Amino acid sequence: MIMDMPGKFLADYTEFKTLFYESTRTIKVSKHEYKRLSKMKDIPVHLRYKEAGIVLRERVGRRWTFEDTEPYKNNVLEQIPEFVKYEAKYILE
């Protein structure tokens, strides 16, 4: 995506940094959950976890323990609008 829109993402370091951190985010899931997610080729990435029934949590405390996390709002990953539009071209129907 960066190379498809170099004027936007390579010209502005803040835009590049935002996209970089969004695209390197890692979400740990079980093997069973991963198999379920990998079959969802017709659903945008930021909506797959909610559709699969996987509760996403974010850290609110100092540690990554269950007590120091809370569920994401609406259980939907936040994505930059450009990524959602870009990804739409590759969603299988």
Residue 10 domain flag: no
Which domain covers residue 45, as residue numbers? 28-88
What domain count does the chain have? Answer: 1
Which residues does the chain have with pLDDT short of 70? 1, 92-93
Q: What is the pTM of this model?
A: 0.66
Q: How many CB atoms lie within 10 A of CB 39?
A: 11
User: What sections of the chain are H helices per DSSP?
Assistant: 6-9, 13-23, 31-38, 45-52, 81-88
Residue 71 domain flag: yes
Give pLDDT tens digits for 9-32.
788 888 788 878 877 877 888 899
Residue 1 domain flag: no
Residue 15 domain flag: no
Residue 63 domain flag: yes
* Inter-residue contact 78 to 21 (CB < 8 Å): no
Residue 73 domain flag: yes
Residue 38 domain flag: yes
